[in-house]
Structure 1
Amino acid sequence: MTSYQVRKFQQIPISILDLAPVKEGSDAGESFKESVQLAQQAEKWGFHRYWFAEHHNMPGVASSATSILIGHIAAHTKAIRVGAGGVMLPNHAPYIVAEQFGTLETLFPNRIDLGLGRAPGTDQATAFALRRTLHVGPEDFPMLVNELQDYFSKEPVSRVRAIPGQGLEVPIWLLGSSDYSARLAAQKGLPFSFASHFAPAYLLPALQLYREGFQPSAALDKPYAMVAVNVIAADTDEKAEKIATSLYQQFLNLIRGVESKLLPPTDSMDNIWTPMEREQVKKSLNPLTTIVGSKETVRQGLEKIIEMTGADELIVGSQIYHLEDRLRSLEILAELME
């Protein structure tokens, strides 16, 4: 028996996840300019949050210095919440994260979110370059979260103070693609966001564990679950499917271990992937959590995932090559929200 209220997507917040994609033939500077345009339109159209995810050593992703990019976007918008979805906490000293997000919250009061992940967001060699040691790993994540929360508290246990940071109410989210962070978010009474845009298989079990194990806290009195989905919307199903080939090629290159920027769409994937590779990509991009199509197709897809998950909020990723197509995809979502 479900213990959540099922609502239509017009009744829940919809947010944006931006990986600041670097396109073939372009560079990071252009990516940041496009993110500003997208965030400004997202704010105008009524989206709730605009988040960036930390990745490293990936030619097609420019959101590595996540806190700096958050500040850049917050400075170019007025009201939309801006945050990290997320900061990979084992890569950083919690004290540095507290200072960075304390600074952001001071500059942009009541607009900053701090989502935390426990994976490195990169390969082992890059993780070592970030940390200078691999002694701290995902298994230390609960301890790191506790330390970070202490820096934000009004009366921290630590003698070291985060200035700015101490006493500031920066919302902390836990992010995950398995059951680990679901259990920890429930135990700590924190909001939880599941990365179903690339790990759909564990979505429903993780949400069930989170809701059943949730312990109320000073931060949250009842569970709050955000579900991540890929949405590529266009004026027709056929156009959306073509636009989505950039996303398919990105995942195909991840499977092959090939480094690349975001590639332009192609008329057909048939000569690009093998049948086995196609199945691997489709497994990661399950139709439940990767919704590609016209306004009506997207509406049906959104209603289905909200009904199945009881999500309190959706966060939408759209790896789309052409800026005009990304803007149109968001505009169609905004039209559905109305």
Structure 2
Amino acid sequence: MTTTKKLGNVKLSILDLAPIVEGSTASDALRNSLDLAQHAEKWGYTRYWVAEHHSMPGIASSATSLVIGHIAGGTSTIRVGSGGIMLPNHAPLVIAEQFGTLESLYPGRIDLGLGRAPGSDRQTMMALRRDLYGGENFPAMLEELRGFFRGPESEKAVRAVPGEGLEVPIWLLGSSDFSARLAGELGLPFGFASHFSPDFTLPALDIYRSSFKPSAYLDKPYAMVGVNAIAADTDEHAEWLGTTLEQQFLNLIRGGVPRKIQPPADLEGFANPYELTAVRNQLRTAIKGSPQTVEAKLNAFIEQTDADEVIINCAIYDHQERLKSYELIAQLGLSSSKE
């Protein structure tokens, strides 16, 4: 008999963009990320991932491998990884060496999540890649990367040291069907960015599961789904904290210049009705509220997606409020597991 998944049956993890809030620096953001990771380890979160973005004044995780080392070095048990490394921005050999080094330093704790988007605008992508076509070569780059971990086929082959022979779990991440299908065909775990691509969540998960072929890594599909979630003492306070994330999406809709993370504010004071509708439609799957509200919405989300793991992005301006939100959500997962 199949049991409906809910909190307590799935793993909970954290996606962190190392937010640089208005009035702070990247140094502050990275210290806060380590502080959050140390708390998350105590609260029982499974993994702590940081994401590659570039030319973003509000995100301090551009040098993703370095941030992973910073987090892993300050923790002891939680898994640490990338959500994700944008592989077309890098030579596969470099990523194999970087993650081989991380795995050698922190054995059994490193995850390598890979995406094919640039994590930036067109101009920044040119500065990173020097061409516009790296994403089209993603499957070949992925195979090259996996080959470096397997080790050389001849004595004269290029070798990744550290890297070769190490079991660094590779995840494919996406916001559409491309990586979903590729992950299924290769038998790899798959993470979907539902937190900013809600319309494609269920189709992508269906494609991943229907195309899945067992591999040496997995005998059945394993899907992690991203969600924006904010927990606070009351629904009203959580909604207020959530206006920080709404401002980020409003700026994207307006095509504005990226900026630091802003404090909460009433959007109705400076956004027109069309903009408000667009922002709230994009964030319609965001989960905000009291612990009781968040528990109900998370359970509904898990049931709808049949996720094996939920990775939570909590975009809150105040660091102490962010800690509290993640702690409340962790308590929900722990209390549900005892039922």
For residues 177-212 of structure 1, give each alpha carbon's deviation from its aligned partner in whole angstroms, at most 9, with x where no partner exists.
001110000011100000000000000010011001
Matched to 2:269, the amino acid is N
Q: How does 1:1-338 map to 2 (within 5 A)?
A: 6-134=4-132, 136-156=133-153, 159-258=157-256, 259-266=258-265, 268-287=266-285, 290-338=286-334
| CA RMSD in angstroms, aligned pairs only | 1.4
2:337 is aligned to none
Letter in 2 for 1:85: G
- Give the 3-state SS of the residue equivalent to 2:325 in structure 1: helix
* Whole-angstrom distance in 1 between the partners of 2:24 and 2:153: 45
Distance 1:292 1:156, change over 3 A: farther
Change (3 A) 1:99 1:8: same
**SS of equivalent to 1:9:** coil
Deviation at 1:133, TM superposition (A): 3.1
Alpha-carbon distance between aligned partners in 1 of 2:3 and 2:162, rounded to the nearest angstrom:
38
* Structure 2 SS opposite 1:230: strand
Q: Distance in 2 between matches of 1:82 and 1:272?
A: 39
Distance 1:63 1:271 in 2: 31
Q: Secondary structure at the match of 1:17?
A: strand
CA distance in 1, matches of 2:315, 2:250: 13
2:151, 2:160 within 8 Å by CA — same for their partners in 1? no
Asked if the contact 1:18–1:52 (Cα under 8 Å) also holds between the matched residues in 2, the reply is yes
Query: Gaps (5+ residues) in structure 1?
Result: none
Pairs aligned (count):
332
Cα distance in 2 between the residues matched to 1:112 and 1:178 = 25
Matched-pair contact (CA < 8 Å) for 1:182–1:206: yes
CA distance in 2, matches of 1:36, 1:53: 14
Question: 5+ unaligned residues in a row in structure 2: which ranges?
Answer: 335-339
Does the 8 Å CA contact 2:245/2:316 hold for their aligned counterparts?
yes
Secondary structure, in 3 states, of the residue corresponding to 2:120? Answer: coil
Q: Would the alpha carbon gap of residues 5 and 171 (structure 1) be closer, same or farther in structure 2, given more than 3 Å must change? A: farther
Identity between Structure 1 and Structure 2 (%): 58
Q: Secondary structure of the equivalent of 2:226?
A: strand
TM-score scaled by length of structure 2? 0.96
The verdict on how the C-alpha distance between 1:203 and 1:17 changes in structure 2, with shifts beyond 3 A counting, is same
CA distance in 2, matches of 1:215, 1:329: 37
Distance 1:327 1:215, change over 3 A: same
- Deviation at 1:123? 1.0
Distance 1:177 1:274 in 2: 28
Native 8 Å contact 2:152 2:158 kept in 1: no
Give the residue type in structure 1 aligned to 2:227: V
Q: Is 1:5–1:310's contact at 8 Å kept on the other side of the alignment?
A: no
Contact 1:4–1:310 at 8 Å: present in 2 too? Answer: no
Against the structure 1 CA distance between its residues 115 and 220, is the aligned structure 2 distance closer, same or farther, given a 3 Å change threshold?
same
- Superposed displacement of residue 220, structure 1: 1.0
Note the alpha carbon deviations across 1:116-149, whole angstroms, 9 max, x for none.
0000000111111112333x42111100100000
Residue 239 of structure 1 aligns to which amino acid in structure 2? H
Contact residue 155 and residue 167 of structure 1 kept, 8 A: no
